[in-house]
Structure 1
């Protein structure tokens, strides 16, 4: 256990991001759902604008713990072709999962946009926040979705991450802030004393808090 909870981890990350405090050119992009509680703390500490992004993992019915790929709420798809072939997953199954994910993501995106309008990320320093990075498929698809949006800088901020994945990300973004890099990545809750799941209602309450912050 490294962190008391997500709030504890977020305060430590915020301390590493002091250069962006009160910056009009910086935006926090929280990956729902795990990145939301961290973003709440970080946006308050740094007084910078928040935004929310959604990612849907594509999984196998026979191996639900394994991500075959991921899709962002902007429609960017990344697939682990080697794993898909290894598990004998049919293209029809993958296509069906992608289409279902698009519908779900669009619904989530529209719901959140009613509370927190999308932020223009052009010429912004974008700080992507999540509560942990294992394989990195979620973070990679978010980064890919940001590349075409004209961001000035892309920064990844997370409390804990797989050493291999963090090294990969360091080559593909401007900066990576990872408080703890581990060669042997256990389940994410291994690194937190308290690691509750985030239900849809709590997610909405967090985003309402973002909205209040931006209108203050």
Structure 2
């Protein structure tokens, strides 16, 4: 699952994507089908561009949004992906003493933001067709794993042949817990001292919608 448990610090998402692409290519081995690489925007897009280029795959996105705790939006207690149901971290809900019903307004707000991003990022294109394909879901890092879990469960409902979750750096517990939702989990590094994804990048600047759109257009014309 994890190639190297020793800490790695990446210069930026571009470097992380190149290194991750090499490992994904090695792990796919003799899978001769043309894989579909799906990025989790925003941060997963530049990483996925490099992975798709390395393995000769198609590139698209899968939309997912974190569901933040009331009054603490940075603390993810769940996530939703595309038109799928919300996925919650039951341990986090219990810790905070709340239920899924308490988050109905947050879920509705995140669905509205998902719809906006679908329009912005896909620019009229339909959702990717994953039936019968090897699908590699890529993000720039895995903290709690709840957003990737929501995306993977949505993908499962689309009948892929194989699902791979790939990220340059993962919290050890997140990498372990998400293993049940993907056929293969690839993390280059799972440092015990993990606190946040940005801790493992020298350049972890915030990406914009235009950054995502430009990266997707650029890959389409390579």
What TM-score do the two structures reach when normalised by structure 1?
Answer: 0.88
Unaligned runs of 5+ in 2: 1-7
CA contact (8 A) 1:156 1:173 kept: yes
In 2: Cα distance, 1:159 partner to 1:124 partner: 23
In the other structure, the counterpart of 1:178 is 187
1:93 CA displacement: 4.7
**Secondary structure of 1:3's match?**
coil
1:154 CA displacement: 0.3
Aligned CA distance change for structure 1 residues 70 and 174 (closer, same or farther; 3 Å): same
1:91 CA displacement: 5.9
Alpha-carbon displacement from aligned partner over 1:30-62 (angstroms, at most 9, x marks no partner): 001110011111222222101101211111343
**Secondary structure of 1:138's match?**
helix
Q: Residues 8-87 of structure 1: matches in 2 within 5 Å?
A: 8-18=15-25, 19=28, 24-87=33-96
In 2: Cα distance, 1:184 partner to 1:97 partner: 31
Alpha-carbon displacement from aligned partner over 1:111-135 (angstroms, at most 9, x marks no partner): 3222654321001000000000011
CA contact (8 A) 2:149 2:181 kept: no
**Secondary structure of 1:112's match?**
helix
CA contact (8 A) 1:132 1:159 kept: yes
Unaligned runs of 5+ in 1: none
CA contact (8 A) 2:49 2:219 kept: yes
RMSD across aligned positions (CA): 2.3
Q: Which has the higher contact order (CA 8 A, sep 6+)?
A: 2
Aligned CA distance change for structure 1 residues 171 and 102 (closer, same or farther; 3 Å): closer
**Secondary structure of 2:198's match?**
helix
What TM-score do the two structures reach when normalised by structure 2?
Answer: 0.86
In the other structure, the counterpart of 1:151 is 160
In 2: Cα distance, 1:183 partner to 1:33 partner: 25
Aligned length: 213
In 2: Cα distance, 1:186 partner to 1:9 partner: 18
